[in-house]
Amino acid sequence: MLMKKIEAIIKPFKLDDVKSALSEVGITGMTISEVRGYGRQKGHSEMYRGAEYVVEFVPKIKLEIVVSADRATEVVAKIREHAYTGKIGDGKIFVSPIEYAVRVRTGEENKEAV
């Protein structure tokens, strides 16, 4: 059974939309991390108590989802549709192959472990 790992970096305020959309297509598990980084926007400037400072690393959310290979395209499309704002910094989606998976508690492997 071929599996794919989908990693998506999205804007934090889009998390609920993306999570709801993925639930509607049967995605029952994902890992979410708060991350910080920058791409083309290279951070931004903000004012705090009259002083300007540069925020070099922008807060983002990283989703990690493992699905059967035949569902990867559908999941990527849902993430893209619901994470989209049309503004710089909407994020990225990466898809990688997964060779093997094991559920620690039961010892189930591959598709059954996911």
| Domains of the chain, each with CATH number or no CATH | 3-112 (3.30.70.120)
Q: Where are the beta strands (DSSP E) in 16-57?
A: 31-37, 44-48, 51-55
Residues 11-25: tens digit of each pLDDT: 999 999 999 999 999
Q: Where are the beta strands (DSSP E) in 49-86?
A: 51-55, 58-68
pLDDT at 107 > cutoff 90: yes
Q: How far apart are CA 32 and CA 15, in angstroms?
A: 9
Tens-place pLDDT, residues 37-85: 877 766 666 667 777 767 778 889 999 999 999 999 999 999 999 999 9
At residue 53, φ and ψ (nearest 5 deg) are: -140, 155
Give the burial class of 40: count Cβ atoms within 10 A of its Cβ; 0-12 exposed, 13-18 middle, 19 or more buried.
exposed
